[in-house]
Amino acid sequence: MQLALWTYEGPPHIGAMRIATAMTGVHYVIHAPQGDTYADLLFTMIERRDARPPVTYTTFQARDLGGDTATLFKTAVAEAYARFQPQAMLVGASCTAELIQDDPGGLALALGLPIPVVPLELPAYQRKETYGASETFYRLVRACVSSTPTATTGAPVSCNILGPTALGFRHRDDVTEVTRLLEGLGVAVNVVAPLGASPADLARIPEATFNIVLYPETALTTAMWLERQFGQKFVNIPPIGVGATRDFIKAVAALAGIDATEYMTRHTSRLVWYSRSIDSTYLTAKRVFIFGDATHAIALARVASEELGYEVVGLGTYAREFAREVRAAAALYNVEPLISDDYLDVEAAIKAASPALVLGTQMERHIAKRLGIPCAVISAPVHVQDFPARYSPVMGFEGANVLFDTLTHPLMMGLEEHLLGMFREDFEFSGDTAPSHLGGGTIVAPQAEIKADAATWDIEAERELRKIPFFVRGKARRNTETYAAQQNLRVIKIETLYDAKAYFSGDAA
């Protein structure tokens, strides 16, 4: 048993719903008790979809358990087929139905429907949403493609884009951006799946020259199978940030047998110049804490470090399936990787790292708000705000433009920071009010822990400390107290403050 306050991922059947809802011509029948229909609102409310997810629930109740829940399931499948006429059907159980062991797959196959019926075995007490999405996509692709590939000799070079789902972080716009990029390179996009694809489209996947794994969480398993089955190579570099986009283009060019040099001289991101422009100097070594799904967390660490000159002080993921990749990335930045789906662990790690910026999910947005730290959302789990009305990809060169804005706007601007340093006693820039871009109001600052043996501040030193701009004051206080402890000082005077400043100068801000 695990105590959970908030969860990063839903159960695996939610992952299956993200596949079914992304597609056309698919219907998913879930053996599930009354109440599990809550999942519909994830799609209709958070993503603002204008149609119900293509999902039928049996919604059995206690009185059905004594009777024949198997018949209830068969009836639901038959009625859903008659009403929706899908090209393929997914059938499975939610957590409770898994316990009553009605065998949805066997029951549905016994109906002899004239379409592919794909039974989903998603162990609800072991696995989670991401696994459910990946497994469902894989099963569905296997059920829809024919085992003998069609001859593609002489056809122009093409690829499939695999991985985008419903309820994904910016998937809609990423697909548009990456499609545009590929077409610019002269590589045709054969199928995008699951987002927007039908089972008939899945059947055409083997016709492409190679695959692009846009989101490994959903598509890597499928891409590996397609490689084994049809010899389709795949590109597994999510093009998030300038460097990753260039790496992606090179990998695509290699598989497509084309020369991308000219394309790369003509196309770039404004991030490259904006980051070099002198106003960005203030971004240097800003401490950033990054947490999210593996793809976005790893990619954003690279963007933050290599492309904005931040210092990565924390990196983690809730997705244990990709713990290895995140550990490897954390090693690059010399930080301890945080692999946890316990919200309280993440909160504690952020508090301990005291970053200047948090890049995370909706959960970290709330943690950061409470701690008074600027934050930008860079990964699922998502909220209605993560489906902006405007075009807002995070992939490709336009995505890098978006990321420059996303990663810098929550911070104070360079000139503003200098003015604060000069006019440090300005009554309007009080450390007790939250910055206007965080909505103003009073900061609920984490209380500094008072240690029994901590040095005390004399009045003069305390007054001097108040003159230091509030956004570095916490660090100045910590450094001074650490220094005082090292020097066995019982009282901190003004001299101690400046001794500590000199001692620690050169460390990252």
Partner 1 sequence: MNQITPIAEAAGCTQSPVLRERGQREVFCGLTGIVWLHRRIQDAFFLVVGSRTCAHLLQSAAGVMIFAEPRFATAIIDERDLAGISDANDELDRVVGRLVSRRPDIKMLFLVGSCPSEVIKLDLSRAAIRLNKSLGPDLRVLSYSGSGIETTFTEGEDACLAALVPELPASDAARLMIVGTLAEIVEDQFTRLFTELGIKNVGFLPARQAAMMPSVGRGTKFLLAQPFLAGTALGLERRGASRIAAPFPLGVEGTTAWFTAAARSFGIADAHIAAVLKAPAERAQHALARQRATLAGNKIMFFPDSQLEIPLARFLSRELGMVLAEIGTPFLHREHMAEELALLPGGTFLSEGQDVEKQLDRCRAAAPDLVVCGMGLANPLEAEGFTTKWSIELVFTPVQGFEQAADLAELFARPLRRRAMLRV
Q: Which residues, 6 or more positions from 54, have their beta carbon under 8 angstroms from its beta carbon?
A: 20, 21, 23, 26, 27, 28, 84, 86
Q: How far is the CB of 33 from partner 1 (least distance, A)?
A: 4
Going by C-alpha positions, the residue among 395, 406, 377, 409 that lies closest to residue 291 is 377
| Residue 121 binds partner 1 (CB under 8 A) | no
Selected from 17, 31, 90, 94, the binder of partner 1 by CB under 8 A is 94
Stretch that binds partner 1, among 47-55, 169-177, 182-190, 209-217 (CB under 8 A): 47-55
Q: Does 265 bind partner 1 (CB under 8 A)?
A: no
Q: How far is the CB of 129 from partner 1 (least distance, A)?
A: 8
Does position 299 interact with partner 1 (CB under 8 A)? The reply is no
Residue 19 vs 181, nearer CB to partner 1: 19
State how far the Cα of 3 lies from the Cα of 219, in Å rounded to an integer: 30
The rounded distance, in Å, linking the Cα atoms of 280 and 270 is: 13
Phi/psi zone of residue 396: left (φ > 0), alpha (ψ -120 to 50 degrees), beta? left
Among 19, 20, 122, 124, binds partner 1 (CB under 8 A): 124
Number of residues interacting with partner 1: please give it, by CB under 8 A: 59
Task: Give whichever of 383 and 501 is closer to partner 1, judged by the CB atom.
Answer: 383
| Cα–Cα distance for residue pair 148/165, rounded to 1 Å | 27
Is residue 218 a contact point for partner 1 (CB under 8 A)? Answer: no
Rounded CA separation 420/302 (Å): 30
Among 18, 27, 74, 128, binds partner 1 (CB under 8 A): 128
Note the residue count of the chain. 509
Q: Are 226 and 141 in contact (CB under 8 A)?
A: yes
Per CB under 8 A, the list member of 19, 27, 36, 182 interacting with partner 1 is 36
Assess 24 for contact with partner 1 (CB under 8 A): no
CA distance to 55, 169, 175, 295, 398, per residue, from 172 (Å):
21, 8, 6, 16, 14
Q: Is 174 a known active-site residue? A: no
CA-to-CA distance for 367 and 360, rounded, in angstroms?
Answer: 10
CB 256 within 8 A of CB 183: no
Minimum CB distance to partner 1 smaller for 33 or for 104: 33
> CA 188 to CA 167: how far, in whole Å?
26
Q: Which stretch binds partner 1 (CB under 8 A): 118-126, 321-329, 352-360, 393-401?
A: 118-126
| Shortest Å, Cβ 193 to partner 1 | 24
447 makes contact with partner 1 (CB under 8 A): no
The torsion of the CA quartet 341, 396, 135, 339, rounded to 10 degrees, works out to -20
84 vs 503, which CB is nearer to partner 1? Answer: 84
Stretch that binds partner 1, among 46-54, 294-302, 319-327, 372-380 (CB under 8 A): 46-54
**Quick check: 352 binds partner 1 (CB under 8 A)?**
no
- List the interface residues with partner 1, window 49-78 (CB under 8 A): 49-52, 56-62, 64-65, 76
Instruction: Give the type of residue at 427.
Output: F
Part in contact with partner 1 (CB under 8 A); list of ranges 1-9, 194-202, 222-230, 308-316: 1-9
The one among 70, 95, 332, 443 contacting partner 1 by CB under 8 A: 95
Helix (H, G, I), strand (E, B) or coil at 79: helix
Catalytic residue selected from 36, 102, 174, 279? 279
Kindly tell me which of 95 and 332 has the beta carbon lying closer to partner 1: 95
Q: SS3 string of 250-314? A: HHHHHHHCCCCHHHHHHCCCHHHHHHHCHHHHHHCCCEEEEEECHHHHHHHHHHHHHHCCCEEEE
DSSP 122: -
Q: Is 391 in the site for partner 1 (CB under 8 A)?
A: no
48 near partner 1, rule: CB under 8 A: yes
Distance in Å, CB of 468 to partner 1, minimum: 28
For tokens 């093009």, what's the residue? 239
- Judged by CB under 8 A, which stretch of 113-121, 267-275, 359-367, 462-470 contacts partner 1? 359-367
Distance of alpha carbon 408 from alpha carbon 401, whole angstroms: 11
CB of 349 to partner 1, least distance (A): 15
Mind telling me the catalytic residues? 279
Positions that interact with partner 1 (CB under 8 A): 1-7, 9-11, 13-14, 33-42, 44-45, 48-52, 56-62, 64-65, 76, 79, 83, 94-96, 99-100, 123-126, 128, 344, 347, 362-363, 366-367, 370, 383
